[in-house]
Structures are given as C-alpha cells and as structure tokens.
C-alpha cells in the first residue's frame, strides 16, 4: 500500500528550542510531505511550546501527551463523547 502519512519523529520535537537544526529538519519533512500529498503528523508533542512551534512551521496534525495519554478503548470512547473537555479540540 502506498503511504498517505509521514510522521515527524519525536526526537525532532524534544530539543526544538535549543536546536535550530531540528527546526530546519522539521520544515524539510513538512515540505517533502506536502509535495508528495501526504498528511504530516508531528508526534511526541508534550507541551505548548512544542505545539506552537509546529503550528508556526505549518504542521496541522499532532499526537502526544499534550492531547491525551494512552487509555483503554472504553475510556477513549467516553472521552470523545465529552469533546468540549478535550484539550485537543480546544486548540483547533
């Protein structure tokens, strides 16, 4: 199956404030994904600084503890029923 998503590894998210090379790498990954028509996902987003930086770089899809921690399916489904309390919805 051809890929339809490309992930930005969390290794490029952790040190973004200190490392301008990580920022350049993220922008390259975003440009590559966009040129190939892929959805680019930033993984490992754990705080507002990381999230804001991704948004400024042009990323629009995220995953990480900032939005929620792993949970059992039943708990996740219950969480979805109460979207207004979900921090990921409030950010969009």
Q: Please indicate whether residue 75 is annotated as part of the active site.
A: no
pLDDT, residue 58, reads 85
User: Distances from the Cα of 81 to the Cαs of 14, 49, 55, 72, 85, in angstroms?
Assistant: 31, 28, 26, 15, 10
pLDDT, residue 33, reads 93
pLDDT tens figures, 37-88:
999 999 988 889 888 888 888 888 999 999 888 889 998 888 788 765 555 5
Catalytic residue, candidates 18, 43, 46, 75: 43
Beta pairing partners, 6: 40
CA angle 45, 50, 54 (to 5 degrees): 95
């Amino acid at each position: 199956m051809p890929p339809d998503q490309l992930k930005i590894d969390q290794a490029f998210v952790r040190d973004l404030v200190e490392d301008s090379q990580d920022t350049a790498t993220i922008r390259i990954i975003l440009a590559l994904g966009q040129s190939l028509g892929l959805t680019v996902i930033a993984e490992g987003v754990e705080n507002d600084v990381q999230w804001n930086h991704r948004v400024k770089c042009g990323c629009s899809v995220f995953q990480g503890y900032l939005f929620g921690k792993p949970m059992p399916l039943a708990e996740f489904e219950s969480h979805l029923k109460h979207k207004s309390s979900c921090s990921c919805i409030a950010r969009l």
